[in-house]
Chains A and B, each alone.
Chain A
Amino acid sequence: NAGVTQTPKFRVLKTGQSMTLLCAQDMNHEYMYWYRQDPGMGLRLIHYSVGEGTTAKGEVPDGYNVSRLKKQNFLLGLESAAPSQTSVYFCASSSQAGVPYNEQFFGPGTRLTVL
């Protein structure tokens, strides 16, 4: 049981390049989330998914796209990277929403630098 895994762990991009971050979870969770964390700040939600084939925007969605083709995977894409997207990206999953408590499980993060 690996929990939430993220690929890659580190990446350096040049401005304008594209890339995809992969998140995988083996807990059969319905909900998945992508957050970003800038230095000295808390996490901010980029996009989330409530189930296979569905995605929705979070607090800071501009410049990112997501897809959830399989329940266990949640992909975050940057079509044209910008230096402002330099950050640490965390993926999370949870069992369901609409209950008083649903713990979110986080991956180890992907450190992205855009030059």
Chain B
Amino acid sequence: DAKTTQPNSMESNEEEPVHLPCNHSTISGTDYIHWYRQLPSQGPEYVIHGLTSNVNNRMASLAIAEDRKSSTLILHRATLRDAAVYYCILRDPLPSGSARQLTFGSGTQLTVLP
């Protein structure tokens, strides 16, 4: 799987939007962009994923650059509960039938200030 680059840390004020960037300049045409987050003392949890188009779900939005070399996870109104490490992960769905491990980098530590 191709490599991703994220800032080590970011801060946000509570109830304000947060934009978490991820660079993936070597992304292949079939790589999906996944985001997971890890709350303190918990296992990672899925946030969102996308391929080419922007995506929205109840937790967040994912904005993908037209050339797919970068993406941004958007939390529309950060809460204290959103303080976590956010991981941007690329996954090639091929080859079929093989285990699809997640390759974690060190992620972005998001601090939400009250």
To the question of whether A and B form a pair in one complex, the answer is yes
Q: Could you tell me which A residues sit within 8 Å of B by CB distance?
A: 4, 31, 33, 35, 40-45, 48-50, 56, 58-59, 90, 92, 94, 97-109
A90–B36 alpha-carbon span in the complex (Å): 14
Q: Which residues of B contact A102 (CB under 8 A)?
A: 100
A43 and B102 contacting across the interface, CB-CB below 8 Å: yes
Given the contacts A42-B104, A48-B99, A56-B99, A100 and B93 also touching, CB distance less than 8 Å: yes
Residues of A within 8 A of B49 (CB): 101
User: Which residues 57-114 of B sit at the A interface, judged by CB distance below 8 A?
Assistant: 87, 93, 95-107
Residue on B with the closest CB to A41? Answer: B106
C-alpha gap A94/B42 in the complex (Å): 18
Question: Does B42 lie within 8 Å of A97, measured CB to CB?
Answer: no
Chain A residues with CB under 8 A of B107: 42
Check A108/B42 contact, CB under 8 A, given A98-B96, A101-B32, A101-B49: yes
Q: A31-B100, A98-B100 are in contact. List 13 more A-B contacts (CB 8 A).
A: A33-B101, A42-B105, A43-B44, A50-B99, A90-B43, A94-B100, A97-B100, A98-B93, A100-B51, A100-B93, A101-B34, A106-B43, A108-B42
A50 to chain B, nearest CB (A): 5
The secondary-structure label for the interface of chain B is loop
In the complex, are the beta carbons of A100 and B32 less than 8 A apart? yes
Across the interface, which residues of A come within 8 angstroms of B93, CB to CB?
98-101
Q: In the assembled complex, which residues on chain B have CB atoms less than 8 Å from the CB atom of A99?
A: 93
CB–CB A98/B95 < 8 A: yes
CA distance A45 to B1 in the complex (A): 14
A-B contact pairs, 19 of them (CB 8 A): A31-B99, A33-B99, A35-B104, A40-B106, A42-B106, A43-B44, A43-B104, A50-B98, A59-B101, A90-B43, A97-B100, A98-B98, A99-B93, A100-B93, A101-B32, A101-B49, A106-B45, A108-B42, A109-B42
